[in-house]
Structure 1
């Protein structure tokens, strides 16, 4: 059941009778463990809300507040930046929509609140819920998302919608087209923040951030989980954010989700790949019981284009050091390993642990699961089990009082939906970066695309287009997920001087590469000039106009190359600078 459906159903339906006013606090105490900020604000009940917010609850059929709403509303009403963690379907959407009523000015026809969501489906749902809550107030919401035309969205923006709910890519498109302005923005909300700051969305999020007003904008994040990389990146968008966490009172659940996925032994490799696509972890360890399975799973993941490597006792010392170095640099997304090989290894931003098969002893499960959910961050452990392995896993769960939840195996349709949405984000971002000439070049193939997509005689047109999209997807898997990559783990004892040396070295290497690339471009330009057909002065003597132009071009290219040569020599060996200058 989706979050919005759950909220509506728990308002006044017979199937889910609403609790009396004030029962939210009792429910919190009885079933939910709460972690509040140090300077916590008192909880609020429905009767204590302003009249406009109470009327909105009445329009939605809510007769009491849900726990997350009772706890989070005071922070949003006071304008404090906060990260709210609560399970899916707990009422988070109402928690950030209700406080907008007293803050949005219906007379001002401009975007005053922006809610960023990861999918078009969620954008439509949130807009629908907002229309119910804001009915009769004059506040107009608008949903903007990719995959559809622009006209309806542009009309809504032109009419002055005060609340914008959208996916980052399409929001950025409207910002670049100047059909949307954020100058009047008061509140920014990240819904499902774990996905909004995950692979694929982060670059667009940073681009949207460039269009925010220079003044402070009240920012909130809502999510069911906060993996380590999300906690690390949240500070880039928020001002001293506090954390409000709600979780059930069960062992291990607050920090780590323990899931299992039932599948047949011969399907485990494909199920694992589907889970990696749908879960979209920033980084993960895949544990196997045998070295043979470690090698096999690594080969499968590499075959699907993932940045994966293995670590087992069979590897040579030099190979193990190379893998560990990639881990320390944050250059490895997935590590496949046995228990022995993985002991003592700490992967940065580890959000998921996958158990390709349950461990042979109970303690190893805790060891494996303990690789994620560190330092209070959320994490997820997913075990792939057949019938017999499921029984063993349940024994482990009973032994440690762990709450296991079954996760249905993703289907090909599930993967196509999730991967398609992520790929659309990548394509939209690339298309925005094209200049006029590049867009003209791309447009040449539009008729071919329409022809391939229209084939209805059993041709391979659709598969050919799918092949191109898959190539784009494979390329995106190899690209850095975040501009700075995953956080690098420095060797013990290395301080700022070591980082400075690496930065200087990296800068010199980049300058050298840029210089070489520029020389190649200039050489190509000279070759084109020399071989280009002459229309005027073709038979001119050496002193003619054509020859003179070529000599000037060569002279300019030579001066630029010599200038770069002097710069490189000055950086690399200052003592050589004087002889070089004298020779020139």
Structure 2
């Protein structure tokens, strides 16, 4: 029987076998970064239990995908595992198939929870779950924001075994008491790196408060494992193993080397687009000259980013102050020359950007080596024109680096990603409001609808844009990653406390039945008696 633990207890470290990676840094404590002695052999379709084979036949799968063949033994054994897997690799089947022998269709309550970053992915997983669970009695429902609650609440009331949802909407249902996780057996984070990029970490930690105070089988799927993803795993998993499909062994993913081909005059805008879509936990941006360091820093600060510079013109005192800020998580982006960056060691660095390629081969390795340290993953992105691309490709051939082209994000890509992240932030803030604060917000619902109905050519719609931009600018100064949790989103924690004081529930004893406060009940009664309904109207708006 697994050891009973509180969901807030740190997981135990797994004893490593012969090391194949450097010692873990603090961000990856509790994680094995090498193959354990009790590694499990891969399986074939014929080796699976009958119920899983039937489900595969129902889905039209004649063979297992490589990631399924490698990961299923760990999942069937109930071991917590992190899987490096990209979209389209078959990861959804990895965690849905093992649910068949584990979930009880007669128990009409959620037994598995899959957290996903977007409504599109939630719907896709729900669709695949319906196919895999057909004729088994196991039901799945997708819950996500941007739509009404009634359909989702009706499905939850009828009884489902699998919940697939975005963290924000899952938390909404927990707060409304329309979702109860007391019988949860399996927890899945799908595309965890994207969830952290969007800014769901505070919501995921809040959802954790509602988990039963016992060990829950947890698995995590991510395209990369930078330090903030490793930290997430350490906070939710017990003795996790890491499986990377590329090497077919347990280890942390390596550094990715990418490049974007852009015109020299467009590099500043290209960098801003990449920062918006990649949303690094922290990044080092290299330039070849002091003038470019100063220019790029000014551009980033003008866009509201937490950025500063290091160059030969910076005094030693200023240099130490800048380095202290980035190490403590108070600075997200550092722009520097090679000379200024010598000796800098930032353990949690997830990205390195090369605003222009270096003038010699060795400098590229020096720059790229600032990320992916201590076994963690990292990403190096170079901005190059046509001639610089040829030089970068020569460097890649010289060092046998797998260099891949990254399409430059479009304005629509940036708007979509920034919009999703901003919606997540606004929803979290709305959940944190007290009843009186929601009544204040409801006063502006009619005005908001009128402004939203205006055409894009009218200045009125820009008034809404101005308010959203102000919110976005404020969010840029807040860390949304677990690396720097002491500085992360202070308004969110304070609001959560206010919400709980106003009657929000949490599962303190593992049964999901924490009582509402009498103070909240009295306020609700007065609103019903007076016909106010301000809070409900605000929620619907």
Q: Normalised by the shorter chain, which TM-score bucket?
A: 0.7 to 0.9
> Counterparts in 2 of 1:122-271, with a 5 A limit?
122-198=121-197, 200-247=199-246, 254-271=253-270
> Counterparts in 2 of 1:341-360, with a 5 A limit?
341-360=340-359
Query: Do the aligned partners of 1:35 and 1:245 also contact (CA within 8 Å) in 2?
Result: no
What residue number does 1:575 align with?
none
Note the alpha carbon deviations across 1:423-479, whole angstroms, 9 max, x for none.
111111100111111011111111111111122494222211111111101101112
What residue number does 1:58 align with?
57
Q: CA deviation at 1:484?
A: 7.1
> Counterparts in 2 of 1:558-569, with a 5 A limit?
none
Q: CA deviation at 1:37?
A: 3.2
Query: Do the aligned partners of 1:192 and 1:223 also contact (CA within 8 Å) in 2?
Result: yes
Is 1:88 the counterpart of 2:83 in the alignment?
A: no
What residue number does 2:373 align with?
374
> Counterparts in 2 of 1:505-544, with a 5 A limit?
none
Note the alpha carbon deviations across 1:397-431, whole angstroms, 9 max, x for none.
11111111110000111111111111111111100
Query: Do the aligned partners of 1:141 and 1:161 also contact (CA within 8 Å) in 2?
Result: yes
| Larger relative contact order (CA 8 Å, sep ≥ 6) | 2
TM-score, normalising length from structure 1? 0.75
What residue number does 1:396 align with?
395
Query: Do the aligned partners of 2:92 and 2:125 also contact (CA within 8 Å) in 1?
Result: yes
Note the alpha carbon deviations across 1:264-305, whole angstroms, 9 max, x for none.
111111111111111111001000011111001101111111
What residue number does 1:428 align with?
427
Q: CA deviation at 1:196?
A: 2.9
Q: CA deviation at 1:199?
A: 6.0
Query: Do the aligned partners of 2:126 and 2:141 also contact (CA within 8 Å) in 1?
Result: yes
> Counterparts in 2 of 1:465-484, with a 5 A limit?
465-482=464-481
What residue number does 2:46 align with?
47
Counterparts of 1:162 and 1:254 in 2: how far apart (Å)? 33
> Counterparts in 2 of 1:2-81, with a 5 A limit?
36-81=35-80
Query: Do the aligned partners of 1:111 and 1:163 also contact (CA within 8 Å) in 2?
Result: yes
Q: CA deviation at 1:339?
A: 0.6
Query: Do the aligned partners of 1:259 and 1:404 also contact (CA within 8 Å) in 2?
Result: yes
Q: CA deviation at 1:129?
A: 1.0
Secondary structure of 2:381's partner?
A: strand
> Counterparts in 2 of 1:462-501, with a 5 A limit?
462-482=461-481, 485=484
The 1:238–1:248 alpha-carbon spacing in structure 2 relative to 1, beyond 3 Å, is: closer
Secondary structure of 2:101's partner?
A: coil
> Structure 2 regions of 5+ residues with no counterpart?
1-32, 488-541
Counterparts of 1:256 and 1:484 in 2: how far apart (Å)? 19
Note the alpha carbon deviations across 1:300-320, whole angstroms, 9 max, x for none.
111111110000001122221
Counterparts of 1:217 and 1:265 in 2: how far apart (Å)? 51
Secondary structure of 1:293's partner?
A: helix
What residue number does 1:545 align with?
none
What residue number does 1:107 align with?
106
The 1:396–1:484 alpha-carbon spacing in structure 2 relative to 1, beyond 3 Å, is: closer
Secondary structure of 2:245's partner?
A: strand
Counterparts of 2:61 and 2:183 in 1: how far apart (Å)? 31
The 1:224–1:300 alpha-carbon spacing in structure 2 relative to 1, beyond 3 Å, is: same
Query: Do the aligned partners of 1:36 and 1:245 also contact (CA within 8 Å) in 2?
Result: no
Q: CA deviation at 1:211?
A: 0.4
Query: Do the aligned partners of 2:85 and 2:91 also contact (CA within 8 Å) in 1?
Result: yes
Note the alpha carbon deviations across 1:121-163, whole angstroms, 9 max, x for none.
1111111111111111111110111111111111111111111
The 1:384–1:208 alpha-carbon spacing in structure 2 relative to 1, beyond 3 Å, is: same
Q: CA deviation at 1:179?
A: 0.6
TM-score, normalising length from structure 2? 0.81
Query: Do the aligned partners of 2:198 and 2:424 also contact (CA within 8 Å) in 1?
Result: no
The 1:266–1:440 alpha-carbon spacing in structure 2 relative to 1, beyond 3 Å, is: same
Secondary structure of 1:149's partner?
A: coil
> Counterparts in 2 of 1:285-304, with a 5 A limit?
285-304=284-303
Counterparts of 1:480 and 1:64 in 2: how far apart (Å)? 43
Query: Do the aligned partners of 1:198 and 1:230 also contact (CA within 8 Å) in 2?
Result: no
Equivalent pairs, count? 453
* Deviant stretches of 4+, over 6 Å: none
Counterparts of 1:482 and 1:45 in 2: how far apart (Å)? 38
Counterparts of 2:450 and 2:486 in 1: how far apart (Å)? 46
The 1:246–1:35 alpha-carbon spacing in structure 2 relative to 1, beyond 3 Å, is: farther
Counterparts of 1:486 and 1:180 in 2: how far apart (Å)? 27
Counterparts of 1:325 and 1:455 in 2: how far apart (Å)? 47
Counterparts of 1:131 and 1:284 in 2: how far apart (Å)? 41
Counterparts of 1:324 and 1:215 in 2: how far apart (Å)? 41
Q: Give the stretch that moved more between structures: 238-247 or 269-278.
A: 238-247
Q: CA deviation at 1:198?
A: 4.4
> Counterparts in 2 of 1:440-451, with a 5 A limit?
440-451=439-450
RMSD after superposition: 1.9
What residue number does 1:27 align with?
none
Counterparts of 1:320 and 1:184 in 2: how far apart (Å)? 53
Q: CA deviation at 1:254?
A: 4.6
Counterparts of 1:198 and 1:410 in 2: how far apart (Å)? 16
Q: CA deviation at 1:247?
A: 1.4
What residue number does 1:120 align with?
119
Counterparts of 2:161 and 2:287 in 1: how far apart (Å)? 52
Query: Do the aligned partners of 1:83 and 1:244 also contact (CA within 8 Å) in 2?
Result: yes
Counterparts of 2:166 and 2:445 in 1: how far apart (Å)? 26
Query: Do the aligned partners of 1:37 and 1:244 also contact (CA within 8 Å) in 2?
Result: no
What residue number does 1:274 align with?
273
> Counterparts in 2 of 1:397-412, with a 5 A limit?
397-412=396-411
Q: Give the stretch that moved more between structures: 160-169 or 227-236.
A: 227-236
